[in-house]
Amino acid sequence: MTTDTTTDATAEEEQVSFADLNLGPELLRALTGLGYEEPTPIQREAIPPLLEGNDLLGQAATGTGKTAAFALPVLERIPRNRKERAPAALVLVPTRELAIQVSEAVHRYGSDMGIRVLPVYGGQPIGRQLRSLERGVDVVVATPGRALDHIARGTLRLDELRTVVLDEADEMLDMGFSEDIDSILENVPEDRQTVLFSATMPDRIDSMARRHLREPVRIQIEREAPAPGEAPKIRESAYVVRRAQKPAALGRLLDLEAPEAAIVFCRTREQVDQLAETLNGRGYRAEALHGGLSQEQRDRVMGRLRGGTADLLVATDVAARGIDVEHLTHVVNYDVPSAPESYVHRIGRVGRAGREGVAIMLAEPREHRQLKAIERATGRRIPVESVPSIADLRARRLELTRASLHESILEDEDLDRFRVVVETLADDFDVMDVALAAVKLAHEASGAAVDEEEIPEVAPMERGRERAPRGRKGGGPPSRGMTRLFVGAGRSAGMRPQDLVGAIAGETQLSGRDIGAIEIADRFSLVEVPDNAAPEVIRALRGSTIKGRKPVVRRERPQNR
Ligand code: AMP
């Protein structure tokens, strides 16, 4: 028998706090310290049954908060001051990058509990892992291949396991880890709890769940669309940018859109504070609003917004709940929201009373799936647009200068006192030249200088991997700061982008996110990596086997193409 849980975003349910979920004081302190204000939908749904020891089958993608959804109950169930050396929990993940990310998260959440966590993945010297395992750990986060190595050596013992988590199970199957997972799970105690998270639920995942899970609670975090006709009048768009470029991209969009008043949503208090500071540093009038502020501080913020001394509110969902900004024109999702329903709530703040509102979303390449989930849930496509270029900005700023001159000509009553200046100059110059010089000075005085660098365009990642950026396939120089490498194996050898990403991320310090455009041709492949990492990548790839061969790897020479 399986228990079916459907998520429903009623207002009531949204008020659930982490404390309501029966998490202990250490974890609650850690979450407050991290600035998490309330559980995401997957956390609300998954944490209670997991704390009770149920198995769980969850469909959720990156960005939904699924890591904490399994990590918090895993941690809560580990006895305090545990002395055993063999781990109590094993998390299996597809890549080294994710292994590191998940163990960092477990470490952060468990910091007050003295939890010992260890990432275990291929490519890292096995000696260090051996020593840590020998000293004793509570949680191991491992890629399946390396986990099996340790199991075979007897260095990873499974007999104390209380929970096994399969994270991004569909990715693990795609990467060929199915048998490894089966053989690991054959050796774990019968009475352990098993948790499986996957962004997609193909039949193969279902049958894996049937083999290894017992009466799992099922959770699916994608939701049906709100009733048609409810959709407010909102112009929606998304921009795919790397994390480091987000502040610059936001600045450009704000310049171009020139919102009357906007709310920028972030996930955590820290992000809110940081972004408000960055925006103020860039000359915007931004106010931070989050659950850490006293009522008095909140009132002051809202007063500044209403009084027009601030035009941007940077806020968490919780803090923004219940406030009403009447002249709000823009909603910015600085991250892809953790669930489609919070997207719908956020953007519902504009486009009221028949006025058009604008909803902007900044997505990192790896958040592609969440973007798609939102589109499915709302039944609307969110067009992915290019971040405004320097040329767009220049044009826009000139347009603003033109508009203010236009207004001045129409409405300024004391223009006449400048007549003498124009007349004197007109003795020596053409009036057109006089006008040009005056416009230039006015333009510059409005702070309209453009001295920024172009923001590179990146494509959303399919299935968690990055593809070649739009419009650059088949040629052109590599992106700024990137070196393009030639790898002597292509489609005819069965090479796929994920093989290259896997090989590079598995063998070097780089993570999937550092890897740039990939192009697979018939007989060879090209991959962009950061300039300073190129020698390391070349060395590593030359020493590795990809698709069963040792390919030629070198810097790309343009005549190859
Ligand atoms: P994940 O889906 O697990 O990859 O998490 C996505 C991001 O959301 C991570 O950066 C987490 O730190 C963050 N996050 C997870 N849960 C919450 C929460 N309840 N409130 C705010 N941020 C969260």
- Report which ligand 1 atom has the smallest distance to the Cα of 64: 2
- pTM of the model as a whole: 0.61
How close is the Cα of 267 to the center of ligand 1, in Å? 7
Look at domain 482-560 and name its CATH class.
alpha beta
Please determine whether the domains at 3-221 and 482-560 fall in the same fold group of CATH. no
- Report which ligand 1 atom has the smallest distance to the Cα of 37: 20
User: What is the C-alpha R_g of the chain?
Assistant: 27
Of 16, 42, 267, 364, best ligand 1 pocket probe by most atoms within 8 Å of the beta carbon: 267
DSSP structural state of residue 297: H
Per-residue model confidence (pLDDT) at position 264:
96
From atom 12 of ligand 1, which residue's Cα is the shortest distance away?
65
DSSP structural state of residue 226: P
- Report which ligand 1 atom has the smallest distance to the Cα of 63: 2
Ligand 1: which residues within 6 Å by Cβ?
36, 39-40, 43, 62-68, 267-268
Type of residue numbered 19: A
State both tokens at 537. Answer: 């990548």
- Residue-wise pLDDT for 12-69, tens only, equals 445 789 999 999 999 999 999 999 989 999 999 999 999 999 999 999 877 789 999 9
From atom 19 of ligand 1, which residue's Cα is the shortest distance away?
39
How close is the Cα of 83 to the center of ligand 1, in Å? 30
Q: Which residues of 234-262 are buried (b: 16+ CB within 10 A; e: fewer)?
A: bebebbbbeeebbbbbbbbbbbbbebebb
How close is the Cα of 554 to the center of ligand 1, in Å? 39
The answer to whether residues 46 and 120 touch, using CB atoms and an 8 Å cutoff, is no
Of 17, 36, 335, best ligand 1 pocket probe by most atoms within 8 Å of the beta carbon: 36
From atom 6 of ligand 1, which residue's Cα is the shortest distance away?
63
Per-residue model confidence (pLDDT) at position 448:
53
- Report which ligand 1 atom has the smallest distance to the Cα of 38: 19
Query: Do the bridges between strand 262-265 and strand 217-220 make them parallel or antiparallel, or are there none, so unpaired?
Result: unpaired
Q: What is the CATH number of domain 3-221?
A: 3.40.50.300
The Cα–Cα gap between 474 and 393 comes to 28
The Cα–Cα gap between 132 and 104 comes to 16
How close is the Cα of 63 to the center of ligand 1, in Å? 6
Per-residue model confidence (pLDDT) at position 72:
98
What is the full per-residue pLDDT of the chain (561 aa) written as tens digits?
Answer: 444 444 444 444 457 899 999 999 999 999 999 999 899 999 999 999 999 999 999 998 777 899 999 999 999 999 988 889 999 999 999 988 889 889 999 999 998 898 999 999 887 778 888 989 999 999 999 999 999 999 999 999 999 999 999 999 998 998 889 999 999 999 999 999 999 999 888 899 999 999 999 999 999 876 444 444 445 578 999 999 988 889 989 998 998 888 888 999 999 999 999 999 999 888 888 999 998 888 888 888 888 888 878 889 999 988 887 677 777 899 999 999 988 888 988 888 887 666 678 999 999 988 888 888 899 888 888 999 888 888 888 888 888 888 889 888 888 888 888 999 999 999 999 999 999 999 999 888 876 555 567 777 676 665 433 333 333 344 567 777 888 898 888 887 888 887 888 888 877 878 777 888 888 777 888 888 888 888 888 888 887 777 777 788 888 765 434
Can you give 427-467 as a three-state secondary structure string?
Answer: HHCCHHHHHHHHHHHHHHHCCCCCCCCCCCCCCCCECCECC
Q: What is the CATH number of domain 234-378?
A: 3.40.50.300
Of 27, 62, 67, 74, best ligand 1 pocket probe by most atoms within 8 Å of the beta carbon: 67
How close is the Cα of 143 to the center of ligand 1, in Å? 22
Per-residue model confidence (pLDDT) at position 451:
52
- Residue-wise pLDDT for 180-208, tens only, equals 999 999 999 999 999 999 988 889 999 99
- Report which ligand 1 atom has the smallest distance to the Cα of 316: 21
The Cα–Cα gap between 417 and 231 comes to 52
The Cα–Cα gap between 517 and 260 comes to 38
List Cβ neighbours of 439 (8 Å cut-off, separation of 6 or more).
401, 405
Residue spans of the domains in the chain: they are 3-221, 234-378, 390-445, 482-560
- Report which ligand 1 atom has the smallest distance to the Cα of 18: 19
Per-residue model confidence (pLDDT) at position 246:
92
